[in-house]
């Protein structure tokens, strides 16, 4: 593949990663997570919901191999570029941005391991991981039932998405399931 073809492919991948990321963030910011499921409506709560969505999409893309793996890397790069931009918009200085992005990267990689292990172990383990990572600061453990149902819906939608659509950056996701605390 020539240089121009590689540059075009990288540009298409970057555009696709941005489009997928935008779809994931829009869904992660759905008010139902915060209003109905007890996810903290805070910087940390929103970050946790975004990275949960990105992790699930990243695994789906990696399962495709080849171009999907490259797109998964682009998705993660897009996440951290957005976090860097957001911190700067909030007025965090250059020195503080690097430190905070490193902390976010550690949290991201920790969540990858936690969710990967939890999914392999089953629903109880996933419920514990979601409670610990997403709901801990609000003590909204009852909201975990809604999050479990939503993770299942999101995983199913990602599994059903055609590879070609994903590689093109087209991702259609269901909204979060309506759920009310008992």
Quick: pLDDT tens for 70-85.
999 999 999 999 988 8
Q: What is the mean pLDDT of residues 110-114?
A: 93
Domain count, the chain: 1
How far does CA 109 lie from the centroid of its chain? 12
- Structure confidence at residue 112 as a pLDDT band (50, 70, 90): very high
CB atoms within 10 A of CB 32: 16
Residue 178 lies in a domain: no
pLDDT at 138: 66
pLDDT for 139 beyond 70: no
Residue 18 lies in a domain: yes
| Overall size of the chain counted in residues | 182
In the chain, % of residues over pLDDT 70: 93
pLDDT at 110: 93
Residue 113 lies in a domain: yes
Range of the domain at 81: 3-167
How far does CA 176 lie from the centroid of its chain? 14
Q: Which of 95-104, 144-153, 167-176 has the lowest mean pLDDT?
A: 95-104
What 3-state class would DSSP assign to 173?
Answer: coil
DSSP secondary structure letter of residue 60: H
pLDDT at 83: 84
d(CA 4, CA 58): 27
- Structure confidence at residue 9 as a pLDDT band (50, 70, 90): confident
pLDDT at 156: 94
Q: Residue 150: which of 18, 39, 41, 47 has the closest Cα?
A: 39
Residue 179 lies in a domain: no
Residue 172 lies in a domain: no
pLDDT at 161: 96
Question: Does residue 169 contact residue 19 with C-beta atoms inside 8 Å?
Answer: yes
Residue 12 lies in a domain: yes
Which residues have a Cβ under 8 Å from the Cβ of 20 and sit 6 or more positions away? 57, 71, 75, 166, 169, 171
Which residues have a Cβ under 8 Å from the Cβ of 108 and sit 6 or more positions away? 51, 55, 76, 79
How far are the Cα atoms of 27, 40, 42, 126, 163 from residue 137, in angstroms, in the given order? 21, 7, 10, 17, 37
Residue 158 lies in a domain: yes
- Structure confidence at residue 160 as a pLDDT band (50, 70, 90): very high
Write down the residue that tokens 């240089």 correspond to: 3
Residue 182 lies in a domain: no
């Amino acid at each position: 593949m020539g240089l121009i073809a590689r540059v075009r492919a990288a540009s298409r991948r970057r555009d696709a990663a941005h489009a997928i990321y935008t779809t994931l963030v829009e869904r992660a910011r759905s008010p139902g997570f915060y209003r109905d499921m007890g996810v903290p409506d805070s910087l940390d709560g929103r970050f946790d919901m975004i990275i949960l969505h990105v992790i699930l999409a990243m695994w789906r893309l990696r399962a495709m191999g080849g171009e999907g793996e490259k797109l998964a890397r682009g998705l993660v790069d897009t996440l951290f570029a957005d976090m860097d931009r957001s911190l700067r918009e909030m007025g965090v200085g250059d020195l503080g941005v690097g430190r905070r992005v490193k902390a976010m990267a550690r949290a991201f990689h920790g969540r990858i391991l936690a969710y990967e292990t939890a999914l392999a172990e089953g629903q109880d383990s996933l419920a514990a991981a979601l409670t610990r990572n997403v709901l801990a600061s609000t003590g909204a453990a009852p909201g975990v039932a809604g999050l479990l149902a939503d993770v299942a819906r999101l995983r199913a939608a990602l599994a059903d998405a055609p590879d070609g659509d994903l590689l093109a950056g087209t991702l259609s996701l269901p909204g979060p399931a309506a759920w009310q605390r008992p």
